[in-house]
Structure 1
Amino acid sequence: MLIDKIKNSLKDENIKESVLTTFINELDHFEIARRLNEFSTEDKVRIFHLFNSDNKRQILLYETDMDSRMEIQETLDKDYLANLLDQMAEDEATDIIKEHSNETQEEILSKMEKQDAEVIKDLIQYGEETAGGLMTPDFNKILWDQAAAEIFTKVRQESNSDTQPYFYVVDNQNKLLGFFKLRDLLNAPASAMAKEFIRPETPKVEISDPCEKVANVMSQEHLSILPVVDEQNVIHGVVTFDDVIRVMEDIASEDIYTMVGTAKVDPFAKKTGSKIMARAPWLFTTFVGGIISAWILGIFDNTLSEYTAIILFIPFVIGLAGNVGIQGATVIVRGLATGDIQEDNITHIVKNEILVGMLNGTIFGFLCGTLISIFAKFLLNTDPLLGVVVGTGIILAVSLASLVGSLTPIIFINLDIDPAVSTGPIITVANDILGLAIYLVTAKFILAAF
């Protein structure tokens, strides 16, 4: 209803511009940013300019999808865009500038204030999903020899600003010595130097640490802000909880979309043509898998012609093997994402997942094989040997699927491929082909032997 109301207002030629401006500015600009992709490019730009403050325009740019953000920025004068980004937090401005080409980045930065531009240049070099890419250079830095009274006076003078609750103590080389909270400052003697009332342990992350590790440290230490240091323990900035949550949500969404073979970023905001292009390769993979499966069926044409009842259980064997493979891959991928799987336990977890898959295959293979052998003659009018074929086929197919599903994420990581791909259509199709081939080979050998 809200979107329709805005669209109708924008189309109404009789409505005064001042009335339209008032109407747009009374709405929740966060909600407009979230659903901006539902408007035409012309309307997106018009809504942007209808906002009566740069603050709202900054929020619209930052909170909306990337395609809409780029469409708006393409219409803006570079001087105005640079000024707009200048007023934003450096880490947020960096996220926006990163989306441009190198040439455009340089042009925008050249028009920004020199100090802000230098900070953003430093931030751009870090990966978007690393501590360095998430950090903000604005934090409470305290020299080791500053007195508590001096620090407290400074805090009182800045009481109207968004003062962070943590203070980071550094030496003369900017190396992190420790941190203290506001209540530690209040309890310290007025003459005490900062280094005398810092906490004994300081949780921190390194610039290159992935977002998942930052989130894990925050969770374990119950902190909403973490200092970011380099290999020499020099502090460069801090990572805040809200930035981590935002990126973790993006990573989780990206993994889910990767699993099903669709656009990784803002799939709801993509145009129809872009959606088709993003999904077509994955569907083509399924098409190729179908052709290969048909070819395998053709190879075993004689066996299938002689024992047609085998065909009845192909979907059953493939489905069971596929599910087990996806279960193993999903558990490994999720464990890697949450940090539950580390170098010291990865071998144990992978072996355990493979064992669980094989045991499940054995249990269901024996159960299904026994039931089919018992009822084969009465219900299917075929040889009870079919139960042995199906049961053995399930055991072998599920065991291989478990092996493939559990090991593929690890292999992909070593090849610098997103492990979430291992739960997607490619691996599903591969498991289907392998399961079908194993089942038919098993059937051919057992039936030929007996």
Structure 2
Amino acid sequence: MKKLANHALFRKDVFGRSPSLTTGSRLAAAPFPAGTYRNIARMASPQTRLIEYLPSSQRQRLLLRLMRQRAGRQLRHALGKVHPADIAQLFPLLRPDEQLHVLEVLFEQRLAAATLSELDPDIQRQLLGEISDQKLAVILGRLPADDAVDLLEGLDEERREELLAALDKPLAARLGNLMVHGGTTAGGLMNPDVVFFRADQTVAHTLEAIREIAEGRRLFYLYVTDDRGHLIGLANLWRLLTADRERLLREIMSADV
């Protein structure tokens, strides 16, 4: 077989687990080296194709070209075979509109969350400003809690509150708790608009406390704790306003946290 740089003849199932290298008329078992494989041409035999092997540096160049060409199916296929950290390395080389397009494709592939967490902070903030709240809420739900809190840190206070209100209650409670207490994130977030109340407080007492701290704040949920300070529930502000004033927070909260 004539040797070509970075080329080899593989069987048709080149993306299978056990490809075979074609050497003349004989088939020999061959390792499947790390990298990307691109279909170059169909050979005379219908079972054989010419496949180009691309080492990492060439793989990155091919992926960048697919990103810029908005290559649709080819881009989706290629992104699914690359680690999010490697994808993130290419974002500084793309125009803002190209970055957004790639992010849309990543969202379809369920890779947007992992890739966003790997991006340069400046690029991340720029992209977060272009993503809808609906999609960003989905992305937050796909991230580990610590990474989600770090991502929220890049948002302004108003949007952060709106996103917390849009999230599932259990997730909002977890993230709110991390933002107040710091968790394991770098420095944590101290969000004064996430407030905690004891479960044995009455509605009347809670409303009075809210009036004292409400100026300049936008409260959506109240985080309810037991007598040891452990988060045990979440109370909707509207539910609080319409509840009997003598009821306890534990009676109106959602315990699904």
TM range (shorter): 0.3 to 0.5
Higher relative contact order (CA 8 A, sep 6+): 1
Question: TM-score, with normalisation over the residues of structure 2?
Answer: 0.45
**Larger strand proportion, structure 1 or 2?**
2
